[in-house]
Amino acid sequence: MKPEPLPEGSWASSAARRRNMQAIRSRDTTPERKIRQLVHARGARYRVSARPLPGLRRTADLVFRPAKVAVFIDGCYWHGCTEHYVPPRTNSGYWSDKVARNIARDRDTDQKLQEAGWLVLRFWEHEDSDACADKILAVVKSRRRDR
């Protein structure tokens, strides 16, 4: 069977790789769902995949509007975890640049939210979900108390 052709200027090294990469979720990942479940079970309410700032085209995984806390659960590959990121063997230039752009966008997002009075919490997907939930709850309660 002949492999299907790739679209002109494609970033994928093969049609199968393209399908695989397109199937990766950008929200509702297993680590996100687990942390959301723990935070919700402990009584906190939040927005899911929401824009903290209306003019900023970026979404946080959990948004606590009254407390102005934005939570991001970053994937090790997509956000360049220093412990777990493994550079790809195929099309490495494209993917390394993509991850570098993601990291730069993350820093820009953090800065813009902080300038608007938000507190940004970032966790890696490999971190203990209970510990993440505990920290999120402690910070949100503290920010609500201070307001």
* Domain count across the chain: 1
Q: Is residue 14 part of a domain?
A: no
CATH code of residue 76: 3.40.960.10
Q: Is residue 77 part of a domain?
A: yes
Asked which of 42-46, 101-105, 143-147 is least confident by mean pLDDT, the reply is 143-147
Q: Is residue 55 part of a domain?
A: yes
Three-state secondary-structure class, residue 133 = helix
Q: Is residue 132 part of a domain?
A: yes
Range of the domain at 130: 28-146
Cα(43)–Cα(130) distance, integer angstroms: 14
Residue 14 has pLDDT above 70, yes or no: no
Q: Is residue 8 part of a domain?
A: no
- The mean per-residue pLDDT over the stretch 118-146 comes to 97
- Identify the band that residue 105 occupies on the pLDDT scale cut at 50, 70 and 90: very high
Q: Is residue 70 part of a domain?
A: yes
- The mean per-residue pLDDT over the stretch 79-107 comes to 91
Average pLDDT of the chain, as a whole number: 88
CB 66, CB 144: distance < 8 Å: yes
Q: Is residue 2 part of a domain?
A: no
Q: Is residue 120 part of a domain?
A: yes
Provide Rg for the chain, Cα atoms.
18
